[in-house]
Amino acid sequence: MTTTTLLMLADGRFPSGGHAHSGGLEAAVAAGRVTGVVELEDFLRGRLATAGPVAATFAAAAHRAVGGAASGADSGGAARRGAALALLDVELDARTASPTLRLASRRQGRALLRAGRVAWPSPVYDEAPRHPDGYHHPIALGLTAAAAGLTVGQTALIGAYGIVNGPASAAVRLLGLDPYRIQALLARLAGACDAIARTAAADAARPPADLPATTAPLADISAEVHATWEVRLFAS
C-alpha cells in the first residue's frame, strides 16, 4: 500500500492545489530567463539546490515529530509533538523571506491537509495545534505522509520531487514545450532528487534551528513582482 500512497502524494493531480502554482517559473519565463528546455533544466536544478533541501528536510522533520502517534507506539506526548510541529512551522516561516511565497505555501498546506484528512483519516492530524493561517506546505506534507503510513525517507523524497515536478508541468503550459522532453528532464533529475531526500531524511533528526536554510533571493524578488500582475496564469 505504501508504494501506491507515495505515488498518490507525489502526483501533481492530487487535489492539494499544486496545479495552480508554477514555483516561480511564470515570472522567470516573463523575464526571459527560461525560454526552453535547457534553461528550464538550469532553473529546476537551482530550485533543487535551494528550495529542495528546505522542503524535503522540514517535511521529514514534521513526519518524525508525529511518527510515534502515527504508528501507535507513542500514546503520550501529544503536547510535546504539537510544540515540535509549531516550532518547525516558525523556523520554516523564518526561512521564507517573501510574504507572497509564505502565503502560497500556507494555502497549499491547507489544501493538502483537507485532501489528506479525507484520503487517510488519522488522529495524526489532531497532533498539530490549530494555526490561524494554516501550516506551511512541507509541514502539512509531513503530517499527511505520516497519517498515510509512509516513511520519513519517502516523505523527504516527495518533498524534493515536488520542488521540480510542479514547475516542470507548468513549463508545458507556459512555453508549449514538448511534454516528452519534460519527462526526460525529470528523469535526469531523479538522481539529484534521491540524493537530496537521503540527506534530508538524515538531517530531519537535527534541532529545528539547524535545519537547512538555503535561499534564492532572485526567486523571492520575482515572487513579489509576480504578485503585482493583474493577469497571470499561476498563483505563484
Q: How many CB atoms lie within 10 A of CB 220?
A: 16
Confidence of residue 129 (pLDDT cuts 50, 70, 90): confident
- Is residue 102 within 8 A of residue 93, CB to CB? The reply is yes
Residue 108: which CATH number? Answer: 1.10.4190
- Domain assignment of residue 203, yes or no: yes
Judge whether 12 lies within some domain.
Answer: no
123, three cell numbers = 488522529
Residue 179 binned pLDDT confidence (cut-offs 50, 70, 90): very high
Q: Considering just the CA atoms, what is the radius of gyration of the chain in Å? A: 17
What sign has the CA pseudo-torsion 3, 67, 16, 139? negative
Q: With respect to residue 139, please indicate whether it lies within any of the assigned structural domains.
A: yes
From the list 178, 116, 126, the residue with the least C-alpha distance to 149 is: 116
The b/e string for 167-192 (b: 16+ C-beta within 10 A; e otherwise) is bbbbbeebbebeeeebeebbeebeeb
Counted domains in the chain: 1
Residue 77 belongs to some domain of the structure: yes
Q: Is residue 101 part of a domain?
A: yes
Q: Read off the pLDDT of residues 33-70 as tens digits, 9 standing for 90 and up.
A: 999 999 999 999 999 999 999 999 999 999 999 976 65
The pLDDT of residue 6 is above 70: yes
Residue 65 DSSP SS3: helix
Does residue 58 sit within a domain?
yes
pTM above 0.85, yes or no: yes
User: Are the CB atoms for 136 and 106 separated by under 8 Å?
Assistant: yes
236 assigned to some structural domain? no
**Considering all CA atoms of the chain, what is the largest pairwise distance in Å, rounded to the nearest integer?**
54
Domain hosting 82: range is 2-7+23-224
Is residue 16 in some structural domain? no
